[in-house]
Amino acid sequence: MVTSIHQLDDGAWVSVNDSREVNVSDLWLLARSDVCSCEPSDFLAEGFVEVSAACGRVEGRIAGQCIACGESGVTGWLELGRADPDTGEFRPVVPASAHVPDRRRRLSRPSASAEPCQ
Ligand SMILES: [Zn+2]
């Protein structure tokens, strides 16, 4: 089953398999931030800039603001959750647990890739 993802409402929501799953306005704990030098950074999500899904792994880059220092910007790629490749059921990550944005990135893909899944 191909994981289908879309941004809705100008990036306020990410839909996974036609169901609204991830909303902005969550506070994300980033172990390190691409936006500022706080480690960790408490990052208030304001919008999803890009989303990608490969092999059921749903990732996104989030625009928002570090509430500790006030700097705003866009994060690196963060895992938002995983969709079961068989049932399409989505399991989101917990934003308040520590996340590490990934800068070393393959190109984003708008939909599931043809690469073999691990
Ligand atoms: Zn900061």
The pLDDT tens digits of the residues spanning 33-52 come to: 889 999 999 999 999 999 99
In a domain, 116, yes or no: no
Rounded distance from Cα 41 to ligand 1 centre (Å): 5
In a domain, 79, yes or no: yes
Rounded distance from Cα 45 to ligand 1 centre (Å): 13
Q: Give the closest residue to 59 by CA, choosing from 79, 34, 82, 74.
A: 79
In a domain, 25, yes or no: yes
pTM of the full structure: 0.83
Asked if 11 and 1 count as a contact pair (C-beta separation under 8 A), the reply is: no
User: In the predicted model, is pLDDT for residue 17 greater than 80?
Assistant: yes
Number of domains in the chain: 1
In a domain, 23, yes or no: yes
Rounded distance from Cα 94 to ligand 1 centre (Å): 20
Rounded distance from Cα 70 to ligand 1 centre (Å): 6
Rounded distance from Cα 96 to ligand 1 centre (Å): 16
Mean pLDDT (the chain, rounded): 87
Query: What is the residue range of 77's domain?
Result: 5-92
pLDDT (mean) for 86-115: 74
pLDDT by residue (tens digit) across 59-79?
Answer: 999 999 999 999 999 999 999
